[in-house]
Amino acid sequence: MKYTNEEILVKAIKILKSLNPDFFKESDIESISFSNKDVEKSISGENIDTWTVIIKESIFDTSEFLVISDETGEPLYYQNFNMIISEIEKKSEGDYQIKNLY
């Protein structure tokens, strides 16, 4: 494990504020968990260590998930309550955005 729970919390807040600056609140983060060599949480299909940040989506009273690589500390993807998975990319300014798939 390269990162601590506290370090991932700081990263998650930065990422989520970048993705949704108008609506995200730090209190929306419900929990953070570490997974060792989890293939299901890797878009590439590799076995990697990941962190999953569970976010409360208050409009529909559901949970959404931000998955962060333990190797790089960078986000891998965001999964909403409809099971839609969106890749995240880092902008040159250091902020994050949902990757344009088209």
Q: Mean pLDDT score of the chain, rounded to an integer?
A: 86
102 band by pLDDT with thresholds 50, 70 and 90 = very low
CA distance 61 to 16: 18
What pLDDT is recorded for position 91? 82
- The correct answer on CATH 1.20.1250 for the domain covering 5-98 is no
Q: Which residues of 51-75 are buried (b: 16+ CB within 10 A; e: fewer)?
A: bbbebeeeeeeeebebbbbbeeeeb
Q: In the predicted model, is pLDDT for residue 101 greater than 60?
A: no
The pair phi, psi for residue 54, each rounded to 5°, is: -95, 125
What pLDDT is recorded for position 35? 92
CA distance 92 to 67: 21
What pLDDT is recorded for position 1? 92
**pTM of structure:** 0.83
